[in-house]
Amino acid sequence: MAAFIFFVIMFTLMASTTPRADAAETSAAAVVIRVDQSGKGDYKKIQDAIDAVPSNNKQPFFILVKPGIYNEKIIVPGDKPFITVSGSKTNSTVITRNDSGNIIESATFTVLASNFVGRYITIKNTFRRHGIQAVALRVSGDKVVFLGCKILGYQDTLLDENGRHYYRGCYIEGAVDFICGNAASLFEVCVTYVTRISVE
């Protein structure tokens, strides 16, 4: 428990920084990978940048995502800890999919690794039908942090599955069971918004 409290305090201090504390300020401590759909970065897709991180890495990797709408299904594997995925502005860096039917497999963004940080990104699952699971974000790694993010969906938006997690300054939206799971999580200065349930 004491270790988790220390972890939360550490990332609370991180959260007090602005989005401008990006790759330029983290490059001394981390390997920086830039994702840019225009082709001006190291990769055009976020998943390609994650795939480039070596398995069982011990060095932090900072993936800076330029503004854009990324229609991707993201998985951060369990053997790739110490990754940060960061946008510069939450509303302009959007990861989106339209998937449904299985609470595990439908997730737009899945974090299985420990020591992961997500910053200033929007994660969406645009599927909307009552009674059908459609996860936007699934978090199953330990010691995972999301700062200033938007997590948008309809049913089971945030599957806070397992591990210890910290959400600060996040906006989470859904209609049915939209925060669920067995994780030990702290939500600080977050907004939850219930959308209208539509029954066909």
DSSP lists the bridge partners of residue 175 as: none
The vertex-52 CA angle with 46 and 57, nearest 5°, equals 115
**Joined tokens for residue 90:** 């939450």
List Cα–Cα distances, 140 to 38, 57, 128, 192, in angstroms. 32, 18, 24, 21
Active site residue 177: yes
Active site residue 156: yes
Which DSSP string do the residues of 77-93 spell out, in sequence order?
-TT--SEEEE-SSGGGE
Which DSSP string do the residues of 133-144 spell out, in sequence order?
---SEEE-SSSE
Q: What is the DSSP letter of 196?
A: P
Q: Which of 22, 142, 156, 160 is catalytic?
A: 156
End-to-end CA distance of the chain: 45
Q: Which of 36, 42, 99, 177 is catalytic?
A: 177
Q: Which residues are catalytic?
A: 156, 177
